[in-house]
């Protein structure tokens, strides 16, 4: 799972960002006007620091750029007491936020390729999609967007 992102938080799956458009100057300024910062994230979560793609504000990272998150991993014995078990299977729940003009199925396929490429020799890797929805563009100054 660690191979799905680089040290700066960029998704490494080839083609994952295909279709994602650069933000206009106005779009880049929009989240800056919202009074929420990396310090707020640290304060609310107890994290030691905010992590994410360099050059983007925390709001751009959260709302305006594609994301890929590993929400949960599990394997082996998961009961409360301790056991030494070499797991035969490992699972992960991954979610992603796509932006307008990205094609969900292409993004899923790019992650599938990356998961297979990162798997240990002899390991069987599979990815099951539980759904995909295309992102939409809303004019920035529409009443619903304000």
What is the distance between the alpha carbons of residues 137 and 98, in angstroms, rounded to a whole number? 12
**What is the residue-averaged pLDDT of the chain?**
84
pLDDT tens column, 128-140: 888 888 887 777 6
pLDDT tens column, 109-121: 999 999 999 988 8
CA dihedral 25, 29, 30, 32 (to 10 degrees): 160
Give residue 68's pLDDT. 92
Q: What is the pTM of this model?
A: 0.78
What is the distance between the alpha carbons of residues 120 and 39, in angstroms, rounded to a whole number? 38
Ordered by start, the domain boundaries in the chain are 2-118
Give residue 106's pLDDT. 94
In CATH, the number for domain 2-118 is 3.30.70.360
């Amino acid at each position: 799972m660690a191979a799905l992102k680089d040290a700066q938080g960029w998704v490494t799956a080839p083609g994952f960002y295909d279709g994602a458009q650069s933000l206009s100057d106005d779009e880049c300024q929009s989240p800056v006007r919202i009074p929420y910062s990396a310090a707020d994230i640290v304060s609310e979560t107890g994290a030691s620091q905010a992590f994410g793609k360099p050059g983007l504000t925390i709001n751009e990272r959260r709302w305006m750029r594609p994301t890929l998150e590993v929400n949960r991993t599990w394997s082996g014995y998961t009961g409360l007491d301790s056991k030494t078990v070499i797991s035969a299977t490992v699972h992960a729940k991954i979610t992603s936020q796509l932006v307008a003009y990205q094609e969900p199925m292409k993004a899923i396929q790019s992650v599938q390729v990356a998961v297979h490429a990162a798997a240990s020799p002899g390991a069987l890797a599979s990815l099951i999609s539980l759904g995909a929805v295309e992102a939409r563009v809303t004019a920035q100054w529409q009443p619903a967007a304000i």
